Structure 1
Amino acid sequence: MSESKRVLLLILIMTVAALMVGGIAVTVLYQTAFEETELRLVEIAQSQARLLEGIARFDAVHSRDYPGGAKEATLSQIRDAHERYIGFGETGEFTLAHREGHHMVFLLSHRHDDRELPKPVPFDGELAEPMRRSLSDQSGTVVGLDYRGEVVLAAYEPIAELDWGIVAKIDLAEIRAPFMTAGSIAALSGLLIVALGTVMFIRTTNPLLRHLEESEQRFRSTFEQAAVGIAHAASDGRFILLNQRFCDLIGYTQEELLSRTFREITHPDDLEIEETHVRQILMGKLATCSMEKRYIHKDGSFVWINLTASAVYEPSGTLSYLMGVVEDITQRKQMEQELIRTQRLRAVGELAAGVSHNLNNTLTGVSLPAQLIQRSTEDPDIRESADQIAASVLKAQDIIKRLNESVRGTEEEIERVDLNAVIEEAIQTTSPRWKDEAEAQGIAIEITTELEEISPIKGTRSGVLNILLNLLFNAVDAMPAGGTIMLRTRMDGDEMYLSVADTGIGMDEEMRQRAFEPFSTTKQTVDVGLGLSSIHGMVTNWGGAIEVESAPGKGTTLTIRLLPWQDTPEREDEEGENQRASRRKLLIVEDDEMVHRVLSQILSKDHEVEVIMNGRQALEQFAAGQYDVILIDLGLPGVSGDQVAAEVRKKDPTVSTVLITGWVLAEEDPRLSAFDFHMQKPLHLSLIRDAVTQAIELHDARLN
C-alpha cells in the first residue's frame, strides 16, 4: 500500500470513528427519549380511556335524560375538563373520535394552542392511522401519519363503552429536534477534528483522488441497485448508459439497448408528446418533465411507465446527457382499467334493474289475464292461445332473471331442468355462429343429436344453457376447416350424462391435463367465455363431474355427469278451501293501473278489495282493524312501500303485509324486513292465492 493511500485510509478511519461516536451517542439518547415519550403517551391514552369508560358507565345510568343522551353527557364533561388542561409539548395532542359510515369523525382535539375539531377523515384512507387502529379495537403505539398528514408518535386505545377511539400523540419532529441539533454539533465537531488532521497530512496525500474514487463508487452502486429504471441518452436519443432495472422493465439486455434509441422502444401514440418534451428540455424551456407513456417490451407487449426526464450539463454549459428515471406503473394502469370496467358494470346493472322492474310490471298485466283465461275457458283454441301467452311470459321471465343474475353476480337457486329442451335451445341460439357465419366463410359445420328420454336434472337452467353455449362455441373454434359436433344424452341408473364431441384439432396430453386450470386455453384470444375451469366449478357445485377425452387431430369429447332432480311433495290445491274461507278485507297499494286492476279482479271473487295508488294516501286512510291483509308495491309515489308497511304495522300490529314488486331484491335487502311475505312480479295465480291465504292465517294468529 502506498503512503498516499495509507494517509487517506487514516483520514477515512478518523472521519468514520468521529461520526460513529457522535452518531451512536445521539442515537442512544434519542432512543431513550423516544421510549420515555412512548411510555408517557401509552400511560396518558390508557388512563384516559379507562377514566372515560368509568364516566360513560356512570352516565349510562344517571344521565339518560341529558340532552343528546348519556354519550353526550360524557362528551360534555370531557370537553369541559380539557378546557382547563394545558397539554404537553409544543405539538402534543389528545384526540377523541368515532366512526360514522366510511369516515372517522373527531369529537375532541386538544393541543396547547388549538382546540378546533379536525375535519372527518376517510376510514380507508392513509391519514389518521393511529385513530383508525383505535376504532378497529386495537391498542398500542405507532409511528404514522395523523389527520394532518404529519408523522407522529402516537398511543391509541379503544373506548369499549362508547365505541370511541382515543389517541395521545406528539409530532416525531419535536422528539427529533434536539437530537438533530446535537447530532449536527457532534458531526461538526468530528469534521473539525478530521479537518485538522487532514491539514497535518495535506502535503503527503492527495485527498481529491480518494474523494473522486469514492464518489464514483457511490454513484455506480446507487445507479445499479436503484428500484427504478435509470437511463442516460445522448441528444439524438441513443442510449449511452442504463441500469439493470431499466433493462428488466422492457426485456432487453444492455448490449441490445445501447444500439438503439428511446424512439425505437416507445409506443407510436406516445412518441410525439415525448419528442416535444425533449425539445423543450434541450432548448432550456423545461428543467425537467414527467409523463406517463408506454414502452414496447421485447415480447411485443406494452409496459406502462412514469418517465421523469431532465438534462445534465458540463461545467462549461454544454449538454452532457439526458437522464430519464422510469417507474413501472403497469399494475396501476390495470387497476384503473378494472375500476372503469367495474363502474360500467355498475351502470349496466342499474339499467338492467330498472328495465327488469318495468318489464316485470308489464308481464304481470299479461300473465294474470292469460292464467284466468286458462282456468275459465272450455274452448280449446282459446286455451291454446292462453297457453302460448303464458309460456312466452315464462320465457321472458327467465330471460329477465338471467339478465339480472349476469349483471348482479348473484348465485342462482338449484332448480328442475329439462336437459334435452335446453340442448335444443342452445343449438338454435348458436346457429348464427356454426351455420350462418361458417357458411359465409365457406365452412361446413353440422350438429347432430342423440337425445334419449331422461329425467329432469339438478342444476340451473341458465347455467346449463351457458355451459352448452360455451361448449358449442369452443367446438366451432376447434374446427377451422369444418366438421361435425355430436350432442348425446343418456341415463344410467340415477345419473344423467351429457357429451359434446367434435371432430376438431384436439389437444395433446399436457393440454388435456391442464384443461380445467384457470385461464388455460388453446385459443389465440383471451375471451373464451366461461372457460372449462368455470364450467368444471359449476358442474361440481351441482354434485356432478366432467371429463375430457382428446388427442391431436382426433377431436375432443367432453362428458358431463349430472344428478337427477328430486321432486318434493307439492302443496295440495287449496283453491276450494280459500273459497270456503270467510271474506276478508284486503287493501292493494299499487300505482300501476294494469297490475292493480288484474289483482283486484282476481281477489275480489273471495274478498273485499280496495285499491289505493299512492303511498301517502294509503297511510292517511289506514286505520287499525280496517284491513286484514295489505298488498304493497315497493316503488310508490309519495312514500315508498317499505315505509308504508312499517307505518301500518305501528298502527295495527295484527295486519299482514305482502310485498309485490318488479324489482329484483337481494335476500339481505333491509327493505324486506318490513314485510311478512314477498311476491316477485310477474305474478302467478296460485302464488297470489297462497300468499293471501298465508297472510290471512298470520293475521288470525296475531289476533289470538
Structure 2
Amino acid sequence: MVADRASASMQARGRLSEEAANLQPRIVPYSGRTEWMRVLLLIAVLAVIVLGTTTLTTILLYSTAIKEQGERLLEMAQSQARTIEAIARQDSYHLEPGTGDAPNFLDVLIDAHAQYKGFGETGEFTLAKMDAGQIIFLLSHRHYDLDYPEPVPMDSDWAEPMRRALQGETGTVIGLDYRGVPVLAAFEPVSEASLGIVAKIDLAEIRAPYVAAALKTLVPALATILLGAFLFTRITRPIVRRVAESQQLYQDLVETMHDGLGIQDEHGLLQYVNDQYCNILERRREELIGSPTEQFMTPESKAQFEQEMVHRRSGTSSSYEVAFTLPDGSEVATLVSPQPILDARGVFQGSFATISRIAHLKEIELALREEKEQAQRYLDIAGVMFAVLDVQGKIVLINKKGVDILGYDGYSDLLGRDWFETCVPSDSREMVRGVFRQIMSEEMVPVEHFENPVITRAGNTRVISWHNTILKDADGIPTGTLSSGEDITEQRQAEKERLEMESLLRQGQKLESIGTLASGVAHEINNPLTGIINYAQLIHDRIEDSKLKEFALGIIEEGNRVAAIVKSLLSFSRQENERHSPASMAGIIDATLNLIGSNLRKDQIQLTVDVAPGLPLLKCRSQQLQQVLLNLLTNARDALNERYPEFHEDKTLRITVQQLERDGRSWIRTVVEDHGNGIAPDIVERIFDPFFSTKPRERGTGLGLSVSYGLVRDHHGQLIVESVPNATTRFIMDLPVENGWSVNA
C-alpha cells in the first residue's frame, strides 16, 4: 500500500510538473494577421449579440401581439354568437308550434354575411353545424371566392377551432383552419341553434410586420457593427501594438536580467523561472517547474526557508541568504529577495523572488570583517575611549576603553543604541542632542575640544574630555562623528576638593581676622562702658528724684546688656577657648542669643526656648557649637523674613533641648524649628554641600551649613534636617554627653 501511495504521489507530481511547465509564459509576437483574426472574432461576437437581441425582442413583441389579437378575436366571436342566439330566439318566438320549418334566421345571416368582406387581409368569421360526423360550413368564405368550403370530418386535424366550438368549448387557439392553414382563431358555441362560430386570422398576416421590422433593424445594426469594428481597429491598433511590445520588452528583461527570477504558488511549487535562475542552479527549466523550491536547498537552508515562508504567508518578507545544492553536489551561496503575492482579500496566493550569487560578496564581507577586527584591536589598546556615531546618533563603533568607562559587559550592549538616551545625563540630554543635530545639518560649526559628563550603566556620572572629528562622505555631507574621550573624573574631583579646601582656608582666615578685630573692638568698648555703668550707678545712688533714678537704672541695664554682648563677642573670638571644656547647652544658647537676639526682636520674630532642666554638661568646644547655633538661627531668621516680611502670628522660631538615650548612651538633642518657606525636596540632599546656597551671592557663601555639619561631626554628633515646603523646617543636632574627649585637651 505504501508503494502504491508513493507511486501515485510520483505520478501526481509528474502531472503537476507537466501542467506547470505548460504555464511557462510565452509571449506571441505582434502581427497583422493576428490583429485581423481578433477583429473578425470581435465582429462575429457582436453580430451574434445583435442577432440574438433582435430575435428575442421580435419574439417578445410577437407573443404580445398574439395574445392581444386572440383577446380581440374572442370578443368578436362571443359578440357574434350572442347576436345569433338573440336572432334565433326571436325567430323561434314568431314560428307556429309544430310546423317543423327550419329557422329562417340563417337566411338572414347568410345574406348579411355575403355583404361582409372580413377584417384584415385574411380575417373572417365562419359558422358551421355538425351533421353525420361532418362539419358543415353555412357561410361563404373569402378564400373560396365567396363559395362554401367543403365539409370536414370531425376527427380531422383541419378546422380545429370549429370542431372545438361545436363541442361546446370557448377560447382561442393556434391551429389549422378548414384549408389546413395555421391561424389564430377564437371559437365560441351558439347554444340556441347548435352551431359554432369562429373568428380567425392567418398567422402569416400577424407575423409579417414583425419579421419585416426585425430585418429592417438587423441590417443597420450589422452596418453599425462593421463601422464600429473598423473604428475600434483604427483606434486600438497602436495600443495593442504598444502592449504587445511592452510584453515582449518585459519578457526580454526577465529573460536577460542578471539575477534569477522564480515564481511559486501557494504550495511552494515553482511556476516560472527565467534563464538566469536555471543557470545559477545549473538545472533545466523542465526540472525546476512544478518542483518545490526547498528541494534544491541544503539541509541548513531548508530550515531557514521554512521560517521565511511563515513570514511570507503573513504578507511580510525580507532578504536572506540561501545555499542551493548543484547537480554535482557542490553548493552555491545566493541572496534571496522575495515578495509575497496576495489577492484582494489579503490571502496568500504565492510569491516571486530574485536570487543572485553572493560568493564574491562573501569574500568582500570576510575581508571587511577582518579589517574591522584589526581596526578594533588597534582601538582597544588605546588609553582613551573611541566612539563613532551615525547621523541619527546611533553608536556604530566603540572600543574596549569606552565599554569599560561606561560599565558595560561588551560591545553588543552598546552598538546600535542611541548615544544620547544611553550615555548622556537626562538633565543635559536634549541640549546635547540639539547641538549634535545642528552639527549634522551643518547649521553649527563643531567644537573640536570640550568636556561633557556621561552616565554609566550603574547610573554614575563620569566627566570626559572630548576631541571630535566630523565624518563626511565623498560629497562632503556629514555622515557622523568620531570622538576620542579621556576620563578626567578623578582629576576634576581633585581640583574641586582643592578649591574647596582653599575656600575653607580663606574663610578660616577671614574668621580669624574678624575674631582679632572683634577682640580689639571689644577691649576698646569695655573701658568706656565700665565708666558709663559706674557713673550711672553713682547718679542713681546720689539723687532723690524717682524719675531720674529710673533713667539711671535704664542706663545701668542697657550697659550691662552691652557688656554681656561684648563678653560673648570676646568669648567667641578668643583662641584659648578652642580647648575642650564642660559646658551647658543652656549657656551656649544664651551666649548665642546675646549675639543675634536683638536682630530677632527687630524682625518681629517670636522666639521660644524650651530647655529641659537637669541636663548634663557636654565635653565640647563651646565656641564651635555657638557658631553652629548662630548659623542655624541666622538661616531660620532669613527664611521667616522671606515668607513673612512683616509681623505674622506664624512668624515663630522655637529652640528645644532635651536628653535622650540611644544605643545605651546619653545624648543631648537640640532642635531649631521655624515656619519659613522650607527646603525643596530636590535640594535637601545637597543642603550640606560646600558652596551650595539658595541665597543670592551677596547674602551667602554656601559654607555656613557645610562648616556647621563638619563641627558637629568633629564632636562625634549628627546634624540632620527635616523640611516640609511652606510649612516647617527642623534642624536636629544630636551630641553625645560622653564623646571620649579629655577635659582641657
TM-score past 0.5 threshold: no
Name which structure has the greater RCO, CA cutoff 8 Å, separation 6+: 1
Q: Structure 1 length normalisation: TM-score?
A: 0.33
